[in-house]
């Protein structure tokens, strides 16, 4: 409901509107302005042709011709001012479109750079993780070969060394 009461310029400044929608709206406005300018040109042409065709058969006074010419001049001026206004609107809309295109291009480039940085950072973290996993797996393999068991009295540790199979069990005293 708020969008119905707002002007098209306020709608364009709405940051929630997707770029493609804004672009379509601007293109529609430009087409409307072009059509209006064409209609105004046709009106101007008809008006000038009507002012040039002074009827010779009807006897009119010079004052009446003067009023007709004055009316046509004022109408042409009004049409000219409307055309100038429409041209300024078309120019401002095209400038806004250019600015929005540049802004969206900058935002895309900025997001691409940010994604590249994040991708590089994630690759580095992945490589570091792989290295740490390899070191951890090697550590786990070494610890599987050498296991420690606590004796029932809690003071003696029994160490099984699988790397040296001929040695057997080594008793280590733990003084607490």
Res 34: pLDDT: 80
Compute the distance between CA of residue 40 and CA of residue 174 in angstroms, rounded to an integer: 105
Distance CA 168, CA 93 (A): 90
Distance from C-alpha of 56 to C-alpha of 172, rounded to nearest angstrom: 134
pLDDT greater than 60 at residue 36: yes
The DSSP secondary-structure symbol of 160 reads: E
Asked if residue 161 has pLDDT above 70, the reply is no
pLDDT(4) > 80: no
Query: Is residue 176 predicted with pLDDT exceeding 80?
Result: no
Both structure tokens of 169 = 């069990």
Residue found under tokens 């929608």: 21
Q: What is the pLDDT of residues 98-157, one digit of tens each?
A: 899 999 999 999 999 999 999 999 999 999 999 999 999 888 877 765 555 554 555 555
Model confidence pLDDT, tens digit, residues 55-102? 544 444 555 565 666 666 677 777 778 878 888 888 888 888 889 999
Q: Is 157 helix (H, G, I), strand (E, B) or coil?
A: strand
Give residue 3's pLDDT.
47
Q: In terms of residues, how long is the chain? A: 176
Tokens read off for 163: 């790397």
- Are the C-beta atoms of 79 and 40 separated by less than 8 Å? yes
pLDDT at 157: 52
């Amino acid at each position: 409901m708020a969008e119905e009461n707002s002007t098209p310029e306020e709608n364009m400044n709405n940051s929630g509107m997707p770029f493609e929608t804004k672009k379509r709206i601007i293109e529609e406005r430009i087409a409307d302005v072009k059509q209006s300018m064409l209609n105004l040109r046709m009106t101007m042409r008809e008006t000038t042709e009507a002012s040039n065709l002074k009827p010779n058969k009807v006897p009119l006074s010079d004052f009446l011709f003067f009023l007709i010419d004055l009316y046509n001049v004022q109408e042409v001026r009004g049409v000219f001012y409307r055309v100038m206004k429409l041209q300024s609107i078309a120019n401002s809309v095209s400038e806004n479109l250019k600015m929005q295109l540049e802004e969206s291009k900058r935002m895309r480039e900025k997001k691409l750079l940010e994604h590249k940085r994040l991708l590089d950072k994630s690759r580095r973290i992945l490589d570091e993780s792989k290295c740490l996993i390899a070191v951890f797996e090697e550590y786990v393999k070494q610890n599987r070969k050498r296991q420690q068991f606590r004796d029932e009295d809690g003071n003696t540790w029994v160490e099984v060394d699988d790397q040296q199979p001929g040695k057997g069990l080594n008793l280590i005293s733990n003084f607490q």
